[in-house]
């Protein structure tokens, strides 16, 4: 049998074993169930902890806190270097809590040591009785990525960080959609998306004369300095999650057909099919923070050509949290699939500290005959969660992850990865 095939079966076997081990966790969790005595311990977030340490009493005459978390961002990300900025995460109820899901919004502004400047705003709004679900993602960035080429399983230049191709560009994303409720927890809707990249600077071209970005762009008829991918989005959504930021139970499924016509400003026309599937399994009735979470997302090119930097890729999800262990855009292709499973568990009885352990796999095709699912790239790690705002379940996240080719890193974020 071909060595590559044997290697792929070996990786798949490792992945199945890892998932199988996680599925055995309920037996372990049952032994960790919180007793009724522990249930009497009040939930404490980082603000409560600070007041307790400083011996400062809570003013009960004031109204309850709003479910808004503001987090100064000072940290490090393998993709962007050292960063400074701020993130805001919040929840709001736009109808009767008995029949209306919580709406969420987030905003962030960052500047990094590698020259990245980004402003981003996201919202997921449910109107009264969940009749409408309105989603948006707006981004304005001066960006940089370390490009490793297209497809997974490329070992020629993936083993050394100094072999990457640095690409700088300006990026505008405006995505907005509206879903109408058509059944219990079921929605259908349409949207628009504009993704515009300009001033693309493939920095090794001057010395090398070529790069994966240039070769792909020339093969598929794209200008190497600018291009756009704008389109109409037609989708269906199913959502039973108990919470938008940190789910303890429920399912989420989204299926999307994206059509990118030239009359909307796309450099070339194309059609893509996309899905996003998530499931959250509570493992303890007494302590709901014990959760096993699954995430499967994929995008397939059905026709046409997609610009290189618009190809679905590592951490190209809305919150740039997929593929922990790798940098943003590390693996990409016309068709791309990603799988992750994560075990979430409390550490302290007052819920202030909790932890996660996760494992992920990703695969991508190229435009030269390599198929999706032919090569898989694994990653995994563990992390710490600090409860930032108990009213919204907002958490500060610190993760460490390792992957193939010596890839590893510390990842800092607000709220769970998915």
Count of the separate structural domains present in the chain: 1
Q: Please choose, from the candidates 94, 104, 178, the residue with its C-alpha nearest in 3D space to the C-alpha of residue 128.
A: 94
| Residue 132 · residue 181 · CB < 8 Å | yes
φ, ψ dihedrals at 163, nearest 5°: -95, 5
Q: What is the mean pLDDT of residues 144-168?
A: 78
pLDDT reported for residue 193: 97
- Token couple for 391: 């009213």
- Sort 31 into a burial class: Cβ within 10 Å, 0-12 / 13-18 / 19+: exposed
pLDDT reported for residue 154: 82
Q: What is the mean pLDDT of residues 159-163?
A: 55
pTM of the complete model: 0.82
Instruction: With H, G, I as helix, E, B as strand and everything else as coil, classify residue 264.
Output: helix
pLDDT reported for residue 186: 95
Q: What is the mean pLDDT of residues 188-206?
A: 93
Q: Is the pLDDT of residue 3 over 60?
A: no
d(CA 164, CA 187): 42
**Chain segment 259-276, per-residue pLDDT in tens:** 999 999 999 999 999 999
d(CA 39, CA 286): 8
Percent of the chain with pLDDT over 70: 85
Average pLDDT, the chain: 85
Parent domain of 351 = 3-414
**Chain segment 280-321, per-residue pLDDT in tens:** 999 998 889 999 999 999 999 999 999 999 999 999 998 889
Q: Is the pLDDT of residue 374 over 90?
A: yes
DSSP state of 242: S
d(CA 300, CA 337): 8
Residue 284 belongs to domain with CATH number = 2.40.160.50
Task: DSSP for 146-212, please give it.
Answer: EE--SSS---SSSS-GGG-EEEEEEEEEEEEEEEEEEETTEEEEEEEEEEEEEEEEETTHHHHS--H
**Chain segment 30-79, per-residue pLDDT in tens:** 434 443 344 567 888 887 777 888 777 765 555 545 567 777 777 666 66
């Amino acid at each position: 049998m071909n060595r590559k095939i044997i290697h792929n079966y070996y990786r798949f076997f490792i992945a199945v074993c890892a998932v199988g081990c996680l599925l055995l966790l309920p037996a372990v969790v049952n032994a960790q169930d919180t007793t009724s005595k522990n249930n009497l311990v009040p939930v404490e977030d980082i603000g409560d902890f600070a007041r307790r340490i400083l011996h400062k009493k809570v003013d009960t005459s004031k109204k309850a806190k709003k479910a808004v978390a503001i987090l100064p961002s000072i940290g490090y990300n393998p993709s962007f270097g050292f960063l400074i900025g701020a993130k805001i995460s919040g929840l709001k109820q736009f109808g009767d809590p008995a029949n209306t899901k919580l709406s969420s919004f987030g905003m962030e502004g960052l500047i990094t040591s590698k020259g990245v400047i980004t402003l981003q705003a996201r919202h997921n709004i449910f109107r009264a009785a969940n009749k409408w679900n309105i989603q948006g993602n707006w981004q304005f960035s001066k960006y940089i990525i370390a490009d490793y080429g297209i497809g997974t399983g490329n070992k020629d230049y993936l083993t050394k960080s100094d072999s990457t191709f640095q690409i700088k560009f300006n990026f505008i994303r405006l995505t907005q959609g509206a879903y109408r409720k058509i059944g219990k927890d079921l929605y259908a809707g349409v949207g628009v998306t504009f993704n515009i990249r300009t001033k693309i600077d493939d920095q090794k071209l001057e010395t090398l004369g070529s790069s994966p970005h240039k070769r792909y762009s020339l093969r598929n008829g794209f200008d190497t300095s600018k291009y756009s991918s704008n389109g109409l989005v037609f989708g269906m959504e199913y959502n039973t999650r108990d919470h938008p930021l940190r789910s303890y139970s429920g399912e989420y499924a989204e299926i999307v057909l994206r059509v990118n016509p030239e009359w909307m400003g796309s450099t070339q026309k194309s059609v893509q099919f996309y899905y996003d599937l998530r499931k959250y399994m509570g493992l303890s009735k007494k302590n709901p923070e014990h959760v096993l979470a699954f995430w499967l997302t994929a995008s397939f090119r059905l026709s046409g050509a997609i610009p290189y930097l618009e190809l679905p890729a590592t951490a190209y999800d809305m919150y740039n949290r997929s593929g922990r262990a790798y940098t943003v855009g590390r693996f990409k292709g016309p068709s791309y699939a990603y799988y992750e499973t994560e075990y979430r568990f409390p550490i302290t009885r007052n819920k202030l500290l909790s932890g996660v352990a996760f494992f992920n796999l990703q695969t991508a095709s190229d435009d030269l005959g390599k198929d999706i699912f032919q090569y898989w790239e694994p990653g995994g790690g563990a992390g710490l969660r600090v409860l930032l705002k108990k009213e919204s379940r907002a958490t500060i996240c610190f993760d460490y992850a390792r992957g193939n080719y010596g890839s590893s890193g510390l990842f800092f974020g607000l709220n769970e990865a998915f």
